[in-house]
Amino acid sequence: MLKESWSLVEEHQDKVAGYFYARIFLSYPDLRDLFPVQMDVQRARLLGAIVQAVQTLEDPERFDDYLRSLGRDHRKFHVEPEHYEVVGGALIESMRAHAGEQWGVEYDQAWADAYAVIAAKMLAGAEADPNPPYWYAEVVAHERRSQDIAVFTVLPLQPLDFRAGQYLSVEAPRYQPRLWRTYSPANAPRRDNTLEFHVRAVGAGWVSSALVRRLQVGDMIKVAAPMGTMTLDRRSTRDAVFVAGGTGLAPVKSLLEELTRYNRTRWVHVFFGARNREDLYDLADLNRLAARYPWLSVVTACSDDPTFPGEQGDISDVVAKYGPWKEHDFFVSGSGRMVRSTLKRLAELQVPSVRIKYDSFNE
Ligand SMILES: Cc1cc2nc3c(=O)[nH]c(=O)nc-3n(C[C@H](O)[C@H](O)[C@H](O)COP(=O)(O)OP(=O)(O)OC[C@H]3O[C@@H](n4cnc5c(N)ncnc54)[C@H](O)[C@@H]3O)c2cc1C
Ligand code: HEM
């Protein structure tokens, strides 16, 4: 029923979104402040997210963890429990207003029920979280490594627990207020609490360009809600392969830093690829690590730089040239395209999918 009823309005999604936000902001003007200044960029982001969640989470019990962390994460947007009812009401009203005569009262009930189950799980997650909704962190170093890439370090004002390989939400309020994006710290948790980020400015990217081109030492950013499961299993005795594309190196370096603290027995291979050598922005440090730790080897590749002295081609093809890899743990991180092609390659090489963890920058 949820899919059937959505299909009645799907064609007019833009209008439904316009109505949805207008409905919310007219009834509760204060809620406008929760959303980004430029709503056109984000158009339908929240509406799309809710519709997708309601339709795909047919069995919300299976998605309990996801929904709890989504609710916990929503606290960074300043979402309060009473807002859920407002948004749920606006969602159903805006669909009904655009569906025409085919809309039935049973659809109202189906959406209300599904939304209520999801909202209850998100609220439970938010309530159970002992952490603050976000942390302020001061920029203590900022270095441009290439035209489009910056490496910067921040110091959160309060301790922040995360696991190596996880990612955090980041907002740069001075430049792009209320726009949050996820970035992976490039270090394991440290005693001094600092976090290092590797960011690449993508095309017309709002947040990444601000972080690369405008952020300065002394600025405050906000970080929130460590998430993600690309972490090390300390019990695993298998050798490990890390495949990173561009700034996908960040979580890989975080995992390597954790390994340097305890690993004595596992061979670790890092494959680091980029379009050209300028984008292999952290090679010096990777080579330093490889020189220091005998269990670590590094292979680099460029796909668009014919005179580069390392490997040539896409990193997924380069990984396939080495091996065999059937007994290894894999960690893959980078753009959606790079992650997809690597996963496809690994499937061809018969690496069992349970041994592969990955983070894709754009799903
Ligand atoms: C789990 C996870 C971890 C991440 N970790 C990192 C990290 O450590 N370092 C890092 O640099 N990025 C990382 N990202 C990507 C980051 O979250 C943003 O998506 C990216 O910085 C673009 O945000 P933006 O606001 O600048 O672009 P937006 O304003 O959101 O997008 C602007 C335009 O660029 C396009 N676009 C968005 N992302 C990409 C992309 N990756 N490649 C090409 N085009 C794109 C969009 O389609 C849109 O047209 C991570 C993403 C995820 C999901
Ligand atoms: C069933 C309930 C809800 C679901 C499934 C849901 C889901 C989502 C998802 C998946 C995102 C994108 C997250 C991201 O990009 O980081 C999002 C963003 C957001 N949500 Fe929700 N949400 C719900 C309820 C609410 C409510 C009640 C509010 C309160 C007003 C709210 C406010 C926001 C805001 C402000 C954003 C950021 C939007 C933007 O950047 O344009 N959400 N939501």
- The reported pLDDT for the residue numbered 204 is 82
* Cα of 86 from ligand 2 centre, angstroms: 13
Cα 276 off chain centre by: 24
pLDDT reading at 42 higher than 60: no
Burial of 208: CB neighbours in 10 Å, binned 0-12, 13-18, 19+: buried
| Predicted confidence (pLDDT) per residue in 278-337, tens digit | 999 999 999 999 999 999 999 999 999 999 999 999 999 999 999 899 899 999 999 999
pTM, two decimals, is 0.92
**Range in 18-27, 33-42, 136-145, 264-273 the model is least confident about:** 33-42
* Cα of 42 from ligand 2 centre, angstroms: 11
- 335 ligand 1 Cβ < 6 A: yes
Query: Mean pLDDT for the chain?
Result: 93
198: left (phi over 0), alpha (psi -120 to 50) or beta: beta
- 183 ligand 1 Cβ < 6 A: yes
pLDDT reading at 28 higher than 90: yes
- 206 ligand 1 Cβ < 6 A: yes
Phi, psi of 327, deg, nearest 5: -105, 15
- Polymer length in residues for the chain: 363
pLDDT reading at 41 higher than 70: no
| Predicted confidence (pLDDT) per residue in 237-295, tens digit | 999 999 999 999 999 999 999 999 999 999 999 999 999 999 999 999 999 999 999 99
> What mean pLDDT do residues 150-169 have?
97
- 342 ligand 1 Cβ < 6 A: no
Atom of ligand 2 nearest to the CA of 52: 5
Direct distance between the N- and C-terminal alpha carbons of the chain, in angstroms, rounded to an integer: 27
- 281 ligand 2 Cβ < 6 A: no
Q: At 268, which amino acid appears? A: V
Atom 36 of ligand 1: nearest residue by CA position = 202
Ligand (nearest to CA of 114): 2
* Cα of 227 from ligand 2 centre, angstroms: 16
